[in-house]
Amino acid sequence: MIDPLAGGLVMAVSGALGLAVYVIVKSRRALPFRSLSPYERVIVYRLALGNVSMNVGYVYGVQSLGIGAIATMTAMGPLCIRAKVLWARRRSRNGALHIALRIMALIGVFVVNESWKEFGHFHADMIGGIACGILGAWSFWNYLRAFFGDVVPEEERTRIVAVADVISLPVIALTVWVAGLAIGGGYSALLSSRVLVLGTVAGVLAFLVPTILTSIAAGKVSESVSGMLYVLDSPLGSLVGLVGAHLGLLGIEQKPNGWHQVGTGVVATVALVATILPFPNSDPPHHDLPAKER
C-alpha cells in the first residue's frame, strides 16, 4: 500500500502536467492563463475546486466513510446531469423512463460497491466523509457540465480544463500538507520510489487519458449520455478485479462476488438502454403520460 495523500498529490501533478504538455503540443499555443474571459475564469475556479476535492477530500472520505460508500455517493453527480430537464418532463414517457433508469443505475452502483457495509455502521465521524461524498458528486457533475454542456466553448474545453488542473496544484499541495499534519502521511511519504512511480502511472491512467478521451467524445456524445456512461467505472473496476484474479495478477479477494455481478449487470444494462432511449427534449406531445383523473 502507498500513502493515499502522497499518492494523490503525485497523481494530481503528473495528470495536470501531462495534460498541459498535451494541450500545448496539440494547439501549439501556451495555456490561456491571462486571456480567459471573466466567465471562463469562474469555470476554471470551479474545476480547480473540484480537483482539490477529488484529490484530497476523496481520500479523507474513503478513510472516514469507506470506499464503497464514497464511490456510490460520487456516482450521484453524473446521474444528476440535466436533472432539471428530466424533472420538468417527468410526465412524458421518455422523461419517466430516464428518471427510472437513473434510479436503477444508482441502485446498481450501490450493489456493486456493497455500500450497505459502510452505511450500516454509522457514527458521528462519518459526517465529514458524507460531506466529502457530496462534494465529490458535485465535482463530477461540474466536470461533465464543463466538457459536455454549453458552459464552455467547444474549442476551448480541453485548454480550460488544463488551466484549472495546473492552478489547482498549489492548493492541492497545501491541502495535502495540512491533512498530513491532521491524519498523518502526505509529504513524509512523498519521496518513496513506490509512491512516485505508482502515483505517476495512476495520474496518467486515471486523469490524463480519461480527459483526452473525454475531449474526443465531447463532440460525439450528448451531455445526458455522458452522465450514464460515467457510472460504469464501478462495474469496470469489478471487471478488472475478475480478470486480474483469473490471471493471477491480483489476489483472489479482488474477484467479484455475486453482489458485484448482479450490480454490474444492472448498471451495464441501464447504461445501454439510456444511450439508446431518446432524451425527453424531443418527445412528441402524444408521448405524454395521461393526466390523473380529476
Grid-cell match 470551479, residue found: 46
Identify the CA nearest to 67 among candidates 261, 249, 238: 238
The most confident of 72-76, 117-121, 253-257, by mean pLDDT: 72-76
In this prediction, residue 289 carries a pLDDT of 45
Question: First-to-last CA distance in the chain?
Answer: 63
Task: Give the long-range contacts of residues 252-261, CB within 8 A, separation 24 or more.
Answer: 259/111, 259/112, 259/114, 260/111, 260/112, 260/114
C-alpha cell at 109: 452502483
In this prediction, residue 253 carries a pLDDT of 47
In this prediction, residue 35 carries a pLDDT of 78
In this prediction, residue 189 carries a pLDDT of 65
The most confident of 60-69, 93-102, 176-185, by mean pLDDT: 93-102
pLDDT tens figures, 273-285: 888 888 886 444 4
pLDDT above 70 (res 250): no
- Comparing 273 with 248, the larger pLDDT belongs to 273
pLDDT above 80 (res 261): no
In this prediction, residue 283 carries a pLDDT of 45
Give me the amino acid identity at 87. Answer: W
Cα angle 164-214-162, degrees, rounded to a multiple of 5: 20
Give how far Cα 122 sits from Cα of 59, 70, 115, Å.
18, 14, 12
| Cβ(117)–Cβ(140) below 8 Å | no
Instruction: Indicate the DSSP class of residue 293.
Output: P
- Which of 46-50, 64-68, 286-290 shows the lowest mean pLDDT across its residues? 286-290
- Comparing 192 with 290, the larger pLDDT belongs to 192
pLDDT tens figures, 138-180: 888 888 887 776 666 666 778 888 888 898 888 888 877 877 7
Cα angle 250-252-254, degrees, rounded to a multiple of 5: 65
